Amino acid sequence: MSDKKEIGLAVVGCGTIGRIRAIMARDYPGVGWIGLCDINKELGHKLLQDCKADFFTESYTELLKRPEVNAVIVATDENHHFGPIMSALEKNSSLFIEKPLATDLSESREVLDKIRSSNVDAVLGYTQRFRRRFLAVKQKLMDNKIGDVTSVVTRAFMNSMVPIATVRRTNERKNLTPMVVSGTHSMDMSLWLMEGKYPKTIFAQSVDKKLQSHGTKDSTFGIFTMDDDAIFSMNISWALPTVWPGSVYGLEIGIVGTEGVIDIEDTHRDLVLASEKPQGHGYNPSGYNPADNRHVDFLTSYPPGDIYNNQLWGPMREETNSWFQRLYVGTETPHASAEDGHKNLVMTMAMDASSKINEKIEINDQIESEIVKIQSD
β-strand pairing of 199-207 with 122-125? unpaired
CB count in 10 Å sphere of residue 196 = 11
Q: At what angle do helices 184-193 and 132-142 cross, to 10 degrees?
A: 30
pTM score of the predicted model? 0.92
What pLDDT sits at residue 1?
37
Residue 220 bridge partners (DSSP): 206, 236
Cα dihedral value 9, 12, 15, 16, nearest 10: -50
- The answer as to CATH 3.30.1370.60 being correct for domain 129-305 is no
Q: Does position 169 have pLDDT exceeding 80, yes or no?
A: no
- The answer as to CATH 3.40.449.10 being correct for domain 7-120 is no
Q: Does position 349 have pLDDT exceeding 80, yes or no?
A: yes
**Average confidence (pLDDT) over 268-287:** 82
Q: Does position 32 have pLDDT exceeding 70, yes or no?
A: yes
Cα dihedral value 251, 103, 84, 124, nearest 10: 30
How far is 16 from 284, CA to CA, in rounded Å? 8
Ranges of each domain in the chain: 7-120, 129-305
Lowest mean pLDDT among 12-21, 90-99, 174-183, 217-226: 174-183
Question: Rounded to whole angstroms, what are the CA distances from 291 to 165, 233, 242, 249?
Answer: 13, 34, 9, 20
What pLDDT sits at residue 143?
98
Model pLDDT for residues 84-106, shown as the tens digit of each residue: 999 999 999 999 999 989 989 99
The separation between CA 107 and the C-alpha centre of its own chain, rounded to angstroms, equals 17
**Average confidence (pLDDT) over 19-48:** 97
Model pLDDT for residues 221-256, shown as the tens digit of each residue: 999 999 999 999 999 999 999 889 998 889 999 999
Q: Does position 206 have pLDDT exceeding 50, yes or no?
A: yes
Work out the mean pLDDT of the chain and round it to a whole number: 92
Model pLDDT for residues 126-135, shown as the tens digit of each residue: 999 999 999 9
